[in-house]
Amino acid sequence: MTRVPEAGIPLGRIETPRLVYAVIAVCTAAAAFLRFYQLTRPGYLFGVTEYDDGVQFGDAVRLVGGVIPYRDFTVMQPPGSFLVMAPVALLAKVTGTAWGLAIARLLTAAADTACVAVLGLLVRHRGPVAAGIACGIYAVYPDALVAAHTFLLEPWMNLFCLIGALLVFDGDHLAQGRRLAWGGAAFGLAAAVKLWALVPLVVIGLLVARRPRRLGLLAAGAVAGLGAPVLPFLALAPAGLTKDVVVSQFVRANLAHAAPLPRLTNLAGLSLFPSLPSRVGVVALLAVTAVVAIGYMAACWAGARLPTALDWYALAGLAAVTGMLLWPYGYWPHYGAVAGPFIALVLALPAGLLRPAEHRHQILPLMAACMVAAIVIAALGLRQFAAETRLHAPTSLAAQADRLIPPGSCVLSNDPSLTVSAGRFVPATPASPGCPAMVDAYGTLLAPTDGRKMLATPQEVRSVTALWYAGFTRASYVWLETGSQGQIPWTPALYAYFTSHFRLLGLVNGAGAHDVPEGGLYIRR
């Protein structure tokens, strides 16, 4: 166990035993195995498994090709994600976009694995049990593994947030001086990847609100971290960046509110048990919440201490992030990865308050916590491994695309993952105005309509229709994924132009609806 601190020495200054680092290393290795193993499943490294990864990597490819985001094409997220992948996008000029996306997937899995190690470092002062619970929970957390299977934003945002927390907290207490500024900068970089990182940053701001100097250092660092990647694009396209990233997303989030129970059960990690009845899921969720609350109070009472700043950050952060995830109208499992670090902290920190070396009556509670945590983490890990062995995605389309689409052709698609994974995303002259620069078809419909899509005015929808019409007139090939009516406003005139100027060539992936072309690859007549 850790050495007993002398009076007046913060708990965070206690010497950390080697056992803690051994526990962190083992959990990190287990996390790496689960994350990289799923990339070995058929189609998961080079195939099409998501829509968003093609968009985000495509944004980086367009940027290094000389096309300006927010001005020349719609981007719905801050610039942090495509700036992180800009070196990989440059490498893709040599390797091709299919290999570029594969490298981006490998790096994202590595980033999410690093989150496990940083979590362990954040709680290492509370001993090996706390470190094992924190690292183990995040290592097997289902939503974190979903987010880590390809280039999605949540692993990168979590990594920057955890680095920021590691800098901001000195053990259980808030740090002072430059560490607060550097921690704020890390949170600012996280917000440059995804604006959701502002929520944990606000939580830390509330914790230091009574110390104006500390708050000023934190805010200055956050402004610098967020401003450095954002300001160049804000200067180049102020209206586009503001409308795409802020206005459209905010309006879209207020369209409707879905039932909270499915999201809460997903956040609780019950997505690994799809056959579990909903009532059982509710009972399990309430039981876990009660156990955590009672456990926290019992651990604080047993240790004769009040919750520290780190405890309040974990508790308030989990409440704030959960509320944030219940707000948007849409929800996908990888969103839940944002709550993963806070769930891990809330479950781990109380166990770190039990110190049997000082209080023998705490031996049994600590042993019980160890056994329960080990059983739950091992069960979830085995369940996750079993689920990964059944994963299968469409294999790479490169071979068929090589046969059907000449290299350098101008291909327009409503799903950039298709063209990126097939190596047909970049035309012969990417900066040329001849080929459409559109990347995100869904975002291109959201931005002009302020997130309302088909609920927007006819004039707003008409502007999107005109954009697609202009794209069809310039493209040599059009590659449609089934369900294009959710991304392309198929008016009778647009449908008539498309069917009269393009014919189905191959790669058919589904039947079309009324006045909507079926999914597949089309060539200009």
DSSP string, 243-299: IIIIIHHHHHHTS----HHHHHHHHTTGGG-TTS-HHHHHHHHHHHHHHHHHHHHHH
Those residues with Cβ within 8 angstroms of residue 318's Cβ, 6 or more apart along the chain or in another chain: 339, 342, 343, 345, 346
> Does residue 423 lie within any of the structural domains?
yes
Same domain, 21 and 74: yes
298 and 421: one domain?
Answer: no
Last residue of a domain, one of 368, 389, 410: 389
- Considering the entire predicted model, what is its pTM? 0.91
Q: Which pair of structure tokens corresponds to residue 67?
A: 């096309």
* Residue 174, φ and ψ in degrees, nearest 5: -75, 140
Q: Give the whole-angstrom CA distance, residue 377 versus residue 128.
A: 15
Last-in-domain residue among 334, 368, 389: 389
Cα separation of 27 and 447, whole Å?
42
Question: What's phi and psi for 102, nearest 5 deg?
Answer: -60, -40
- CA dist 524 and 354 (Å) reads 70
Cβ atoms of residues 191 and 78 within 8 Å: yes
Residues 349 and 406 reside in one and the same domain: no
Asked if residues 324 and 102 have their Cβ atoms less than 8 Å apart, the reply is no
What is the spatial distance between Cα 150 and Cα 482, in angstroms, rounded to a whole number? 21
CA distance 248 to 435: 26
Q: Do 367 and 403 fall within a single domain?
A: no
104/57 Cα distance (integer angstroms) = 8
Same domain, 315 and 442: no
Mapping DSSP onto H, E and C, the string for 58-122 reads HHHHHHHCCCCECCCECCCCCCHHHHHCHHHHHHHHHHCHHHHHHHHHHHHHHHHHHHHHHHHHH
Distance CA 56, CA 54 (A): 6
Give the three-state DSSP class for 165. Answer: helix
**Three-state secondary-structure class, residue 411:** strand
Which of 390, 322, 282, 329 has the alpha carbon at shortest distance from 143? 322
Amino acid at 157: M
d(CA 394, CA 129): 41
In a domain, residue 434? The reply is yes
Burial of 112 (0-12, 13-18, 19+ CB in 10 A): buried
Contact residues for 348 (Cβ-Cβ < 8 A; gap 6+): 123, 126, 130, 131, 132, 133, 134, 137
Question: Is residue 473 domain-resident?
Answer: yes
Q: Determine the pLDDT at residue 252.
A: 62
Q: Is residue 236 part of a domain?
A: no
Q: Is residue 241 a part of any domain in this protein?
A: no
| 236-251 tens-digit pLDDT | 999 889 888 887 776 6
Residues of the chain with pLDDT under 50: 1-14, 431
One-letter amino acid at 376 equals: V
**Quick one: DSSP state of residue 524?**
E
- Tens of pLDDT along 167-224? 999 999 999 889 999 999 999 999 999 999 999 999 999 999 999 999 999 999 999 9
Place of tokens 């590659």: 479
Alpha-carbon Rg for the chain, nearest whole angstrom, is 25
In a domain, 247, yes or no: no
Q: What is the Cα–Cα distance from 268 to 283, expressed in whole angstroms?
A: 12
The boundaries of the domain holding residue 415 are 398-524
Task: For residues 146 and 276, state if they share a domain.
Answer: yes
**Domain membership flag for residue 192:** no
Final residue of a structural domain among 358, 389, 420: 389
Clarify whether residues 367 and 422 are in a common domain. no
- 338 and 297 in a single domain? The answer is yes
- Which DSSP string do the residues of 489-510 spell out, in sequence order? ---HHHHHHHHHHEEEEEEEEE
Q: Do residue 371 and residue 420 come from a single domain?
A: no
Given this model, what pLDDT does residue 110 score? 98
> Residue 14: what pLDDT?
44
Phi, psi for 522 (deg, rounded to 5): -115, 145
Beta carbons of 104 and 58 less than 8 angstroms apart:
no
Identify whether residues 361 and 429 lie together within a single domain: no
Does residue 467 lie in a domain region?
A: yes
Q: How far is CA 193 from CA 152, 483, 510, in A?
A: 10, 28, 34
pLDDT of residue 337: 95
Q: Which two tokens stand for residue 179?
A: 């560490």
Domain total of the chain: 2
**412 burial type by CB count under 10 A (0-12 exposed, 13-18 middle, 19+ buried):** buried
Token digits of residue 333: 């499992």
Cβ(414)–Cβ(407) under 8 Å?
no
437 and 385 within one domain:
no
Task: Answer yes or no: do 380 and 423 share one domain.
Answer: no
